[in-house]
Amino acid sequence: MEEIKLPKDFVTYPEARKKAFLSLKKLKEEGRRIVGVFCTYTPWELIEAADAVAVVLCGIGEENIPAAEKRLPKNLCPLIKASYGSAATDRCPFFYFSDMVLAETTCDGKKKMYELRGELKHCHIMQLPPGAGGKGALEFWKAEVESVKEDLEDFYGIKITEEKLRAAIRLRNRERKAILDFYEVGRLKPTPISGYELNTVVTSNDYAFDIEEKIKYLEQRTRELTDLYEKEYKGKKSRPRILITGCPTHGVIDKVIRRIEELGADVVGFENCCGPREKKDPIDEEKDPITAIAEKYLRVNCSVMSPNPGRFKAMGEQIDEYQADGVIEVLLQACHTFAIESDAVKRFVTEEKDIPYLAITTDYSMTDQGQIDTRIGAFIELLDS
Ligand code: BJ8
């Protein structure tokens, strides 16, 4: 079993969330506005322009799932059940401290869960068009973005000015660039950073509420890792390089990402919402802000969109740029959109890119760890041979 590379002061994802509870409590005591969010489609710039803090409400861990199953079907994505269960049992301090929730009609499970969540707290649900390229899709989505602005203004009794929106766009674009540069350290061969750190730092960043501080940290860590590569890694032999795709992996970091690296491969990149999916695509700073925000978020390549060709283009680029030797797709149980798209992903990876592909379907329990290890081990052996 190999040790994965982690810095001395490494903070795990659950630890980062715990620390964030305290920062959020402090912000609440200082009278800051707090908006709970879930998804990459969320127009964070509007929240920023409302002088509010956005906090991610996605659940991890299996402890709140039995409570969720009192109202939700068992055969539902664990991310949805964990998110609802933690709010319904009042065990999610992020939800507790949120003044309101901003959510989008992405997959069927999530959108129906938001209806139940709306019973607990004010929940603004943005209607997402079913396909980004459909006739009128942009106009429809732009009106939805406009309605978030209006709701934030009414809810907080404020005015979101164009100046504030433009400042928020600039700030978030700088943050996107810092995150992307950090991610792209994974392109170095051999990589000086573990995928476990990549996944943890980027998802934990959603719980760092001071964006300037976050940018500073990411820039510094990127410099450290680039120097480390020059001093210790350059010219050395690389382990098999894996690109992760599929559903978000923050709830299965230990179960899948850590195990891939302990079993002998490097996770070098993520083609999912824990990766650069939307970071590569800044918001146009010159256009009318509402139009630019609507255009940007409509380009997110999620499987909830039909059709979703942009995902394959992004995946192809990442396979090349990160020099991936194989692709592992993580499918959360009962996630129909990613599960259906996985057949096309498999064909794209094995036929067009000519590298091996493995799909792992799992949930937040630990019962299938042995089976997952066996499959990952065999996949790495195949890449090594
Ligand atoms: S933009 S990936 S964050 S929707 S895994 S809850 S799709 S059943 S999380 Fe997602 Fe936004 Fe898309 Fe990204 Fe449903 Fe699938 Fe569960 Fe999912």
Q: Write the pLDDT tens digit of every residue in 10-39.
A: 888 888 888 888 999 999 999 999 999 999
Q: Kindly give the pairing relationship between strand 100-104 and strand 123-126.
A: parallel
- Say if residue 14 is preceded by a cis peptide, omega within 30 of 0: no
Give the C-alpha separation, 120 to 186, whole Å. Answer: 41
For 323: left if phi > 0, alpha if psi spans -120 to 50, otherwise beta; the answer is left
**pTM assigned to the model:** 0.95
Strands in the chain per DSSP E = 33-37, 52-56, 100-104, 123-126, 241-246, 266-271, 326-332, 357-362
Distance CA 186, CA 198 (A): 8
Which of 272, 250, 380 is CA-nearest to residue 318? 272
Q: From ligand 1's centre to the CA of 227, what distance in Å?
A: 36
- Between 17 and 111, name the one with better pLDDT: 111
Q: Residue 332: CB within 6 Å of ligand 1?
A: yes
pLDDT beyond 80 at 380: yes
Nearest CA to ligand 1 atom 17: 247
Query: How far is ligand 1, taken at its centre, from the CA of residue 107, in Å?
Result: 7
Q: Ligand 1 pocket, 132 CB below 6 A?
A: no
Closest C-alpha to ligand 1, atom 13: 273
Q: How confident is the model at residue 1 (pLDDT cuts 50, 70, 90)?
A: confident
Q: How far is CA 49 from CA 98, 106, 159, 379, in A?
A: 17, 24, 9, 46
pLDDT attached to residue 240: 97
**pLDDT (0 to 100) of residue 89:** 87
Paired residues of 33 in beta bridges? 52
Q: Is the pLDDT of residue 6 over 90?
A: no
- 113 within ligand 1 shell (Cβ under 6 A): no
Q: Kindly report the protein residue whose alpha carbon is nearest to atom 8 of ligand 1.
A: 335
Six-digit token pair at 113?
């869960």
- Of residues 185, 194, 186, 189, the one with CA closest to residue 238: 189
Q: What is the mean pLDDT of residues 188-213?
A: 93
- For the chain, what is the mean pLDDT? 95
Predicted pLDDT of residue 176: 96
The confidence score (pLDDT) of residue 88 equals 87
Q: Phi, psi (5° rounding) for residue 188?
A: -70, 145
Local confidence band at 92 (pLDDT 50, 70, 90 cut-offs): confident
Ligand 1 mutation pick, 56, 81, 105, 106, max ligand atoms within 8 A of CB = 106
Cα separation, 158 vs 99, in Å, equals 14
Average pLDDT over residues 143-162: 98
157 Cα to the center of ligand 1, angstroms: 32
